[in-house]
Each structure stands twice: as C-alpha cells, then as structure tokens.
Structure 1
C-alpha cells in the first residue's frame, strides 16, 4: 500500500450512529504491506501444525455458529441472547466451522478465531493486525470516499461480494454462489489487489473500539484508543443484509470482545 492521506469515515451518512463512523476526518499513513486475502484455513493450519496452538474456541469447548450452518444439531448448547440465529455449538472451531463433524475448506477464510488467536498467529508469522486506518485505506483501493471498494453502487447482478440474499435470517437464496464463506479469491480484487475486503468475513483490527474516537483521532497514523473492552472488526460478512445490517461498506465498523469467536469473523495481516 502506498503512503497516503485520505478521508476516513462515512461520507454518505449510511451508518448507524452508535458505530461511530463519523465525523469524516483526514488521516495520513505511511506505506505498508497487507495480505491480498483473509488468512486461509490452510495458512492457519500451518501455524497450528508448527506450534500446537489451541484457539480460544477449542479451550472454551464451543463457538458461535449461524443456525443454517450447524452440522451437528445435537451439539447445540444454547442460543445467543438478542440474536437467536446464533447458536453456541460444542466442538465448533477453526477446523470444524459448523460443528465437530464438519471440515473447513483450505481455500476459505479461517473463522472461529478470536482477536487473541489472530494476535498469536501474527506473532508466529512476523506480521501484525492492521490498524483500523490501514484497513480502511487498503479496502478503499485508492478511490476516495466511496461506499465500496469499486465505487458507490452495487452492480446490477449483485455478484460483486458475498453477502446475504433472501429473507434474513430464514432463507438465503445464495444468488452469489455461497450460503456461508466463499473461497478467499472469489469475485474481483480492488484496485490495490485486495480480495473481498467487504463481505465474506469480518476482519479483526488491532485497535480498541470507541464510538467517539473519530472526533479525537490524530491525523498521523492513528492507532485507536489506548484502552477499551472490545476490538474493532471491519468489512461485514456473508450474513450482512440491508434489512438489518449494511456494514459491508468501506467505512462500516463494529466490534467484539478479544476472546470472542464466531463463524463469520477472520483476519488479514500487515507489516510496515
């Protein structure tokens, strides 16, 4: 990625106020490198094979799986409060995304990894998680203030990214070809060569999350608040649908606690 100054944040007033996508503010970052794709299942397996690492989901014994992706209904331990389409499934982890009888495909993004798991992978790989500003600059692909990595509008055929089609959360028509994750090199890369920075899976960033940080952000290479309780996630996922979540945009932000893992969150890495 070239060093650049860009307008960070929601220039279209598309976001939820509580997500803190505004004010739009000038950010200046130096050059850096970023993975062209989300870290894959094969990438993560190499790390596990080399280190014997156990993820938070494996240690806890369960992880959050979308109800249509469950492969082992007898292993469902409960529903998530407020989001009943998320089920706690015993034995769900990075290698078994739907439950213990499922198998993750090597060319798909690794999921069921917490922020802490992603940090451990980065330490092994000699990389790090992107700052939120680095992530947004890379996703934008050099196109200033656009909604998406390719421009402001979704293409007419709707097949530029992996999001939900149909009636959420009951029926996914899979018009884009995928009910859950897609292979990391699906669709088309943006102008910087990044595949699927929006849609497919949320991606962890290094920063602590604050909905008021943008009003306080420094111009030069911002790295988020000094403390917090949740970490930033970016890009949306295969579950995004305009009926409840339009966070498959360059400026969209959300968060989760550092030990949380779900079937729609992964990561990619950077280096200076």
Structure 2
C-alpha cells in the first residue's frame, strides 16, 4: 500500500466522521490542515496547474536548502512559461546562490527586458476556451475546502472534503474579482511588476559585483609621465570656487591613464561601493578615505588639486581642453540619455550612467576621462581663501587633518569627525553633471565621507 495515500484515506474517513459526529471547530481545523498538506503531496498534477505546481515544488525545495533540486524545478517552470517572471526571478536567485553568476545575469537581463507593469497583469486561459481574457492577478493561491466527487486514487473513491486551489483575478472586461480553479485555467504574465523589477535590479548589482570578483585585475595600471610646468590655475569667468585665477607651477609626476576601475579597486580593497557595477567601469560612490587608502596600498597617492588641473588641461588654455565650446563625443556627462533634470537633450554621448574607461578620446597628455565620466577626489582639503594665498610652486591645499578610520565599536564617530574636520576638493565633470562642469577649472567641495554616485578617483605618484 502507498503509505501517503493510506494516510490520506484514513484522514478523509475521519473528516467524514467529524462532519457526521459534529466534532469541535478546533478538531476539524486540525484534521483539515493535515488533510490539505498530505493531499497536495500525493494528488496527481492537473495539466493546467502544472507550471504553478513546479514553482511550488521549487519553492519548497529551496526552503529546505535543496538548491540543486529547486534549480531543476524552476528551470522546468521557466521553460514552460518563458515570459513568466516568477520562475525566472527565483531561478536567477538560485543560480546566484549556487555561484553560477553568468547564468544568473543572463536570466536577469531577460527579466529586465520584460515590459514593466503597474500590477500583475495576466492573460487567463480557460479550459475549453480558445481566447484568453485579460486581468490582474490579486492572489496567486486561494485555498478552499470542497467536497470532491472525483476519485483521487484507488483508496479515495468516495466523496470527501478536499483542498482546492484557486487564482483570485480581477477581470478587466467586467471589472469584477473572480476565483478560478487552477485545475481549469492557466495564466500568462504580460510583464513584470515595477516593484519586482526594482528587486531584480538590486539582485543584478550583487551578481555583477560577484562577476567582477572573478575577473582578473590584470597587470600594472597604465600611467602617464607628465613633465612639470607652469600654468594659470582657475578661471576668472568661472564660478566662485574657480576664482581668482593664479599662476601655479608643478614638478614632474606620473598619473593613472584611466580612472580606477572596479576590478582593480575590488581586488585591492575587498569591496565595491559602486552603484553601477562593471569590471571596466570606474569605481563610484567611493569616499575620500577609501580613495586615499587605495592609492597608498598601490604605492601611489592622490594627485594634488594643482597637479590634477595641470593634467586635465593637457597644455591648453581654452575653456575645455578641446576648445572654447562644448563638442559631442568628447566626454561623458548628463546628456540626452541622462534621467536627471540637468540633462542636455541636444547631445547624446551614448551612456546613461558611467561608461567603461577609455570610451572617450584622451586629452593632449594622453589621459582619458579627465573631463567627465566620474568626478575625481584629489588630495587637497578646501579652504575658502586658499586660491588667494596659494604658493606658486607645488601647492598642496589647506593642510587640515581628518580621521582615517573609526574608533573600535563607534561606527558613527568617523562620519561625525569627517563632517566637523575638513572638506575635500573634487575635480572634473561626471555623467550626472552639466557640460559646464567638464571644464578643467571646475571645482566641487564635499565632506570626505560622502558617497556620491558621480565621484571616483585616479592615483598619481612622484616621478622617480
């Protein structure tokens, strides 16, 4: 005898007796619960509810930690309904947990390509009906205990109380909510709900960072030797932070050819704060302390503000390193693709957010992205009157000190110390700034603990 079916038959007999002998509500509800669980485990799968059953089995296996089995069920469910986000999302999560990050990312890309909906829009295919009806899924599973006249096996031939699963769906054509037995209908999702898509985007950030971790950082970072010289720092026609213009001379030094990418940062720092993950994208959302620590661990340092502007100008004296007017294709800034209200709709640079380093041509000194992509932390602390008193030779900014690391057990103390200590200078434009910020003289000032999705860095070093 099949033990599971025998137990169900036994419980069904008890249920029938309970109904006849008028047992108490607590006793009946207890019996009903066990009957429901066992009936689901031994009942044959109806054809119309097969995909939903696969999803249920996958979820149960995942809850028990049986990821390989869950992967099998969700793979079958996703194949049966290629446009259904439920199975695809669960499968992507399991692939990620199993370390199959490339497969997980492929599934995520498919999910993100689905139409975004405000709710769970579905087509309902009724058994024996040719055309589906449209609606919105309210509840995926509603269980009702009903008397069944059908035989569910050799041991269950008499009418008995059985759990029946329904979809609760709001029908678009008549504006009513109805229950549909899963054995009689199948549903097809028409897209992905906005709130679910947001969770998928969050999952992709984790997946991409894990993909970056498996990427080899490669050889030494390319650097450019810059021969020292004198130039006019600042801009009398610029904003208040850029004035007064003054002559500055810097000694020869070397500078990273590209902004520090995430694959190098993650390999060195064992972490990645970037909002836009990608091995060859510049690290973003990094604090000044993290940038400074990375450079020190690499045997380098952050460039001084004077060195940075000298390098960004590339020996030119114009508003932009390429000329007096903004030109398309020179740098990544908030253009037509940018979703922010400062965007410049007349120009498209091809990137909504950050771009892989070297996507844009170098300046005359051979340095990439000195105008845009991400703004860059420099070494200098900010002082309002420093441009007036700045030394002519190799200025290093206002020499104020900040805490490098928080005290043990006091995670908030560092942030408070950063706010009360010094502000740091950030140079250059970024994907989220206006074209005006692409000028070499442009400056911004932030507290060193700030994380901003448009701020990264590059390193410099003394010429040996």
The TM-score normalised by the length of structure 1 is 0.74
Q: How does 1:141-160 map to 2 (within 5 A)?
A: 141-143=314-316, 145-155=317-327, 158-160=328-330
SS of residue in 2 equivalent to 1:118 = helix
Tell whether 2:247 aligns with 1:39.
no
Structure 1: segments with no counterpart, 5+ residues: 56-92, 99-103
Find runs of 4+ consecutive structure 1 residues off by over 3 angstroms: 170-174
1:165 aligns with 2:335: yes
Paired with 2:232 and 2:342, the residues of 1 have a C-alpha distance of 37
Task: Check whether the contact 1:146–1:250 (CA below 8 A) recurs between aligned residues.
Answer: no
Higher relative contact order structure (alpha carbons within 8 Å, sequence separation ≥ 6) = 1
Give the counterpart of 1:22 among 239, 243, 254. 243
Distance 1:190 1:211 in 2: 29
Instruction: Sort the Cα spacing of 1:2 and 1:171 in 2 relative to 1 into closer, same or farther, 3 A.
Output: closer
1:161/1:199 contact within 8 Å kept: yes
Partner residue, 2:278: 105
Task: Note the residue ranges of structure 2 that are not aligned, 5 or more in a row.
Answer: 1-225, 401-420
How many pairs are equivalent? 214
Between the aligned partners of 2:323 and 2:341, the Cα distance in structure 1 is 30
Residue 119 of structure 1, CA deviation: 1.0
1:120-154 per-position Cα deviation (integer Å, ceiling 9, x unaligned): 101110000000000000000011x2211222222
TM-score by length of 2: 0.44
Give the helix-richer structure, 1 or 2: 2
User: How much has 1:241 moved relative to structure 2?
Assistant: 2.1
Matched, 1:249 2:431: no
Residue aligned with 2:384, SS: coil
Query: What is the Cα deviation at residue 239 of structure 1?
Result: 1.2
Partner of 2:46: none
Deviations 1:57-84 (A, max 9, x none): xxxxxxxxxxxxxxxxxxxxxxxxxxxx
Tell me which residue corresponds to 1:85: none
* Cross-structure match for 2:412: none
CA-based RMSD of the aligned residues comes to 1.9
Whole-Å Cα distance in 2 between the matches of residues 10 and 16 of structure 1?
Answer: 8
Distance in 1 between residues matched to 2:295 and 2:456, nearest whole Å: 13
Structure number with bigger Rg: 2
